[in-house]
Amino acid sequence: MSIFGKTKTAENFPVEKTDAEWREVLSPEAFRVLRGHGTERPGTSPLNGEKRPGIFACAGCGHELFDAGTKFESGTGWPSFFRPLPGGIATTTDRSFFMTRTEVHCAQCGGHLGHVFPDGPPPTGERYCMNGVSLAFVPAGQPAAE
């Protein structure tokens, strides 16, 4: 089935819900991005300016994705990171929009987070360009809602 130019796979994830169940827990915009492989408008996420220590988790299931210490200002208008947490994300090849990119999704629920590009800062050289609506920020010292 094709949604927003992206073919959904039959891959199974530890956290699975029906579309109706996801709609109950996500805002319409978060559903469009996380479950429909959409993209939020650049510069619209309040997480762009988030600089406190903590963890960026999946807004769908609470799975921990990125440590705030790996966040950097990329100038793209989306929260960007140079390294995910171990086991936080998974990737697939995205051939939508007449190009080939590496899609990043949550390793627990499969929610679409964004894409990774090879133009990030040291030490990895990678830029994980994430949709802010796909993320939830958990300040240091507070438990994630997984």
Instruction: Give me Rg for the CA atoms of the chain.
Output: 14
- Is residue 129 annotated as a catalytic residue, yes or no? yes
Tell me how far CA of residue 141 lies from CA of 52, 54, 87, 128, in angstroms: 11, 8, 21, 24
Q: Tell me the CB-side half-sphere exposure of residue 47, using CA atoms within 13 A.
A: 27
Structure tokens at 102: 């590496």
Of 58, 61, 106, 129, the catalytic one is 129
Q: Active-site positions?
A: 129
